[in-house]
């Protein structure tokens, strides 16, 4: 008798193990990674695992319900430093790799994170939030009770704001703390603050000879008014800083070559504002010459795939080859990500690319091999060993028991031609228990960004909707990454134009080619830009019988002033800001067309979303309710813009249940 797998549920989110951050040991015969799960208390816990490449089972290094991550090996491999919140805040802990208990290294008042060893193994460099005038030698971590009391006291005090960039979705309201780079001398047991400017500094790398570090920051006088990021070289002996870039772009992920003579980084000069594709640059330290290795390579560098089962950081490049003749990186192209190699003759070669999502990698120089993190539409994640020209060898078997239990639907790939000569890529999921001859309701999903990409990755929300009996279509309209610079730029200044036409064309294509879709039971949903587009759709067509808009934009005039990115994003994406042409911004605003809405609309919004603040949802709800339209509004306390991806697990499940409830009611 054939075993029938059950349908996926919203609660299954708690059963999915998410892997990240593969890191080879210094001798190359093993690697570590981070495993993140949702525990019985509905909280995230992350632990470190170690696996020899010749063995089939990993060994768990850390335990408990804490978040352990960002491991870095000492050069001799005998010790490792990692980040853990087991004491209450993220702090640095050190452990002997041959066994024993970890001991706490830092007790910084605001935590410490992102550690890295100097090449001689005598010091550890890390980042910390430091208040003006703080002494890094005398940092004391507050107890949980003291932290709670401090938070309560802060709530009673007025907040003085004197900067344009005074809040962000990831940090909330800013204060006088900035990210500074700290060096800890293990022998002397002393700290040295390496950066002091009143801006955030992002540590990048330490030179092979241990004399320099790389960091990224905006040290311009007008930093508060700019969205720019330069690279700097800091001499650890003299603490002198040298600016490497020109002050007119955004640069990051900088890495020294093995010899220390060159630096590779990602970046661009904002030629297309926020839609600009990243490029790979190499700097010759001696001459100051900058070379672009990906000129003419019309592909986005890094991982632009969106999903809801990715937590933790993983390396996407650039990473130097052992002979310094090549640089490895992940790039995003036509619905998938792959591992690429760029050489100094500006040739770019695909080392590995398939119908899947490479979310991270680790390069091992001695064996010239890789560990790849891979997700597919039917498998959340696993690690594989890879050598150039060879097949993948699976190392982990994560989520095997879960996948034996539940039915996972493999999407059908669609390529849809447009009237103006473009090609739209999309994916269609048939419903759980699909039977020929039956008609099924349909849901269109629209991603956020808009400069992101749906792709060949596992997506719990899509699988859930298919499990509930819906045909699910998700596509990449113009504005998405993965299809070249002109395609990703095509949405700017045209929100609700060509992008809207692309989505409607995709729906028409699905109806024409899949007779099992019930054209009278169509639904639509999306978040962020996808929420904007959902609002736009219901204000411009009544073909959908139900819609769910999430963390959306409804009014560009107010978005300019309330979003943490509004003051520049509005200009970048629409072509002007509030002060330049408010009438045009109103034309782009879904709120203008609210009287046209006949589709029952559910509005979902996090109450502390500073990217698309909740007033955007409030305005839309009040207008629709005032007009006696069919609308409901669900507010998620404590939730920010990342609710669907990394928010509180209970809230994430509640969100999914609300989406399913609405579509079940109206479709």
Q: Which residues form the catalytic set? A: 528, 641
Among residues 276, 552, 258, the alpha carbon closest in space to that of 266 is found at 276
Q: Which two tokens stand for residue 530?
A: 């996808």
Q: CA 539, CA 590: separation in Å to the nearest integer?
A: 7
31 Cβ contact list (under 8 Å, min separation 6): 22, 23, 24, 25, 50, 51, 53, 362, 371, 383
Q: What are phi and psi of 632, to 5 degrees?
A: -135, 155
Stretch (H or E) spanning 466: helix 460-467
Q: Which residues sit opposite 348 in a β-bridge?
A: 342
Burial class (CB in 10 A: 0-12, 13-18, 19+), 2: exposed
Q: Bridge-partner residues for 549, per DSSP?
A: 526, 603
**Which DSSP letter does residue 261 get?**
S
- Dist CA 639 CA 655 (whole Å): 11
By DSSP bridging, strand 250-256 and strand 601-606 are unpaired
Q: Where are the beta strands (DSSP E) in 245-325?
A: 250-256, 262-268, 279-284, 290-292, 300-301, 319-320
Give the pairing of strands 178-185 and 300-301. unpaired
Which of 515, 611, 600 is closest to 559 using CA atoms? 611
Cβ-in-10-Å burial (0-12, 13-18, 19+) of 192 comes to: middle
Q: Tell me 136's DSSP state.
A: G
Contacts 24+ apart (CB under 8 A), 530-533: 530/445, 530/446, 530/447, 530/448, 531/448, 531/612, 532/495, 532/590, 533/446, 533/496, 533/499, 533/500, 533/503
The dihedrals phi and psi of 233, each to the nearest 5 degrees, come to: -105, 125
Using CA atoms, how far apart are residues 170 and 180, in angstroms rounded to an integer?
17
Find all residues with CB under 8 Å of 185, minimum gap 6, and list them. Answer: 122, 123, 191, 192
As a whole number of angstroms, the distance between CA 103 and CA 461 comes to: 40
Best CA proximity match to 8, nearest among 459, 590, 521, 457: 459
What the block records as the tokens of 134 is 């703080």
489 and 498 Cβ atoms separated by less than 8 Å:
no
As beta bridge partners, residue 280 has 266
């Amino acid at each position: 008798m054939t075993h029938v797998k059950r349908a996926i549920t919203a609660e299954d989110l708690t059963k999915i193990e998410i892997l990240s951050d593969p890191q080879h040991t210094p001798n190359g015969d093993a690697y570590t990674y981070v495993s993140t799960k949702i525990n019985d208390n509905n909280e995230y816990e992350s632990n470190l695992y170690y696996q020899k490449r010749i063995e089939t089972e990993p060994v768990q290094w850390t335990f408990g319900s804490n978040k352990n991550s960002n491991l870095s090996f000492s050069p001799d491999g005998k010790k490792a430093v990692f980040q853990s919140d087991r004491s209450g805040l993220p702090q640095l802990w050190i452990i002997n790799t041959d066994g024993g208990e970890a001991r706490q290294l830092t007790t910084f008042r605001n935590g410490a994170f992102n550690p890295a060893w100097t090449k001689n193994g005598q010091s550890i460099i890390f980042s910390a939030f430091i208040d003006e005038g703080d002494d890094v030698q005398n940092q004391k971590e507050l107890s949980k009770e003291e932290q709670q009391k401090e938070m309560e006291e802060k709530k009673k005090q007025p907040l003085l704001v004197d900067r344009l960039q005074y809040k962000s979705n990831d940090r909330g309201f800013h204060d006088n703390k900035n990210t500074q780079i700290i060096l800890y001398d293990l022998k002397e047991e002393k700290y040295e603050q390496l950066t002091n400017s009143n801006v955030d500094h992002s540590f990048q790398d330490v030179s092979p000879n241990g004399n320099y570090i790389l960091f990224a920051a905006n040290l311009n006088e007008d930093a508060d008014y700019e969205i720019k990021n330069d690279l700097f070289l800091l001499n650890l002996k003299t603490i002198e800083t040298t600016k490497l870039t020109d002050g007119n772009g955004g640069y990051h992920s900088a890495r020294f070559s093995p010899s220390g003579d060159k630096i590779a980084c990602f970046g661009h000069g904002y030629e297309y504002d926020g839609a600009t594709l990243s490029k790979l640059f190499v700097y010759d330290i001696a001459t100051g010459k900058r070379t672009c290795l990906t000129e003419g390579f019309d592909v986005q560098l890094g991982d632009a795939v969106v999903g809801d089962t990715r937590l933790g950081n993983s390396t996407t490049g650039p990473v130097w080859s052992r002979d310094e003749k090549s640089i490895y990186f992940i790039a995003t192209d036509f619905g998938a990500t792959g591992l690429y190699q760029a050489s100094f003759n500006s040739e770019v070669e695909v080392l590995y690319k398939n119908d899947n999502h490479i979310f991270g990698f680790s390069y091992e120089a001695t064996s010239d091999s890789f560990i790849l993190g891979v997700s597919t539409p039917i498998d959340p994640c696993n690690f594989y060993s890879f050598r150039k020209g060879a097949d993948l060898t699976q190392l982990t078997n994560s989520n095997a028991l879960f996948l034996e239990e539940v039915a996972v639907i493999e999407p059908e790939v669609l390529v849809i031609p447009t009237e103006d000569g473009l090609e739209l890529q999309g994916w269609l999921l048939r419903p759980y228990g699909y039977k020929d001859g039956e008609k099924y309701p349909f849901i269109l999903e629209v991603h956020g960004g808009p400069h992101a990409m749906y792709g060949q990755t596992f997506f719990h929300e899509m699988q859930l909707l298919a499990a509930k009996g819906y045909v699910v279509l998700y596509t990449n309209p113009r504005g998405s990454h993965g299809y070249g610079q002109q395609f990703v730029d095509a949405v700017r200044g045209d929100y609700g134009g060509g992008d809207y036409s692309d989505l409607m064309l995709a729906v028409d294509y699905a109806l024409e080619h899949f007779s099992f879709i019930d054209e009278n039971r169509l639904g639509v949903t999306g978040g962020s830009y996808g929420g904007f587009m959902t609002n736009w759709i219901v204000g411009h067509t009544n073909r959908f019988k139900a819609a769910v808009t999430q963390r959306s934009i409804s009014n560009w005039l107010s978005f300019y002033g309330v979003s943490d990115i509004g003051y520049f994003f509005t200009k970048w994406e629409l072509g002007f800001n509030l002060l330049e042409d408010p009438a045009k911004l109103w034309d782009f605003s879904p709120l203008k067309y609210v009287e046209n809405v006949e589709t029952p609309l559910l509005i979902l919004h996090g109450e502390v979303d500073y990217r698309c603040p909740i007033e955007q949802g409030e305005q839309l709800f009040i207008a629709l309710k005032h007009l006696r339209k069919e609308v409901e509004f669900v507010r998620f306390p404590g939730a920010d813009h990342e609710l669907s991806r990394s928010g509180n697990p209970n809230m994430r499940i509640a969100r999914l249940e609300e989406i399913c409830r609405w579509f079940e009611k109206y479709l």
